[in-house]
Amino acid sequence: MPKIAIAVEFKIKEGQYAAFDAIIREHARLTLQEEPGCERFDVLQPLDKDGAHDKSRIMLCEVYQDRAAVDVHTKNPRLAKVRDAYAALIEGRTLTLCEM
Cα–Cα distance for residue pair 31/26, rounded to 1 Å: 8
* Structural domains counted in the chain: 1
For residue 1, the model assigns a pLDDT of: 82
Tens digit of each residue's pLDDT (9 = 90 or more) over 34-44? 999 999 999 99
DSSP state, residue 65: S
- Are the beta carbons of 1 and 71 closer than 8 angstroms? no
Q: Look up the domain containing 15 and give its range.
A: 4-99
Cβ–Cβ < 8 Å for 12, 60: no
Question: What is the mean predicted confidence (pLDDT) over 69-95?
Answer: 97
Tens digits of residue pLDDT in 2-34: 999 999 999 999 999 999 999 999 999 999 999
Domain of residue 47, CATH code: 3.30.70.100
